Amino acid sequence: MVDEKEIPCALVVMGVSGSGKSTIAEKLAERLGWRYEDGDRFHPAGNVAKMSAGQPLTDEDRWPWLQAIADEIDRVCEVGERAVIACSALRHAYRDVLVHGRRDVRIVFLCGTPALIADRLAGRKGHFMPAGLLDSQFKTLEPPEKSEHPVTVSIDASVETIVEDIMRQLKLGRPDRGATRGKYA
């Protein structure tokens, strides 16, 4: 039995493009009975226009976006909800905005090799991936440090195994079969 107070109110599932953030965060949220959010939803209109035009975002563009996600995290925690948020959060400074010293917000890092992720991206339907994007994502990536207390999982496994691994590391047991969604065994 996990003490309710020790359960985080938000999990930020991070990693490079194609590491499986949306897939894993959605499945994890479903398993926990928490809300799933895709961080991309919080981009201001100006960023969406830039991205649609194929222009790279600058850090100046990113701060308001990250702050909007941080505000949502605060709101969720304040009202006693729980959420799993998929967000690339590649740099330490980005994660600092999202977590802003909260101990009840945990980082989940999806870790995989460029070769495996390139393979997954090649197999992804309905997405266009500009050449060189994965390279630049790995160049930007600052893997979370110990001080960030991350949960790090290898993505070289099935979605189910990865989700189990995250739940085990966070000591979030299987919800009871007959229990209310979001309650823990």
Ligand X SMILES: Nc1ncnc2c1ncn2[C@@H]1O[C@H](COP(=O)(O)OP(=O)(O)OP(=O)(O)O)[C@@H](O)[C@H]1O
Among 17, 28, 95, 166, contact with ligand X (rule: CB under 6 A): 17
Site for ligand X in 141-160 (CB under 6 A): 155, 158-159
- Which SS3 state, helix, strand or coil, does residue 13 take? strand
Cα separation of 58 and 124, whole Å? Answer: 26
Nearer to ligand X, 124 or 181 (CB): 124
CA 117/CA 120 separation, integer angstroms: 5
Considering the rule CB under 6 A, would residue 39 count as an interface residue with ligand X? no
Which does residue 98 touch among ligand X, Mg ion, none (CB within 5 to 8 A, set by kind)? none
Q: Nearest distance from residue 176's CB to ligand X, in Å?
A: 26
129 vs 157, beta carbon nearer Mg ion: 129
Residue 27 binds ligand X (CB under 6 A)? no
User: Is residue 169 classed as helix, strand or coil in its secondary structure?
Assistant: helix
Is 161:24 a contact under the CB 8 Å cutoff? no
d(CA 11, CA 28): 10
Q: Which is nearer to ligand X, 86 or 151 (CB)?
A: 86
Per rule CB under 6 A, is residue 21 in the interface with ligand X? yes
Q: With 0-12 CB in 10 A as exposed, 13-18 as middle and 19+ as buried, what is 24?
A: buried
Place of tokens 């991350």: 150
What single DSSP character describes residue 170?
T
Nearer to Mg ion, 22 or 169 (CB): 22
- Kindly tell me which of 8 and 15 has the beta carbon lying closer to ligand X: 15
Shortest distance in whole angstroms from residue 167 CB to ligand X: 15
Least Cβ distance, residue 63 to Mg ion (angstroms): 21
Residues of this chain that interact with Mg ion (CB under 5 A) are 21-22
Smallest Cα–Cα separation from 63: which of 95, 36, 33? Answer: 95
Q: Are 42 and 67 in contact (CB under 8 A)?
A: no
- Within 74-103, which residues bind ligand X (CB under 6 A)? 86, 88
Q: Which residues of the shown chain bind ligand X in the complex (CB under 6 A)?
A: 15, 17-23, 86, 88, 120, 123-124, 155, 158-159, 162
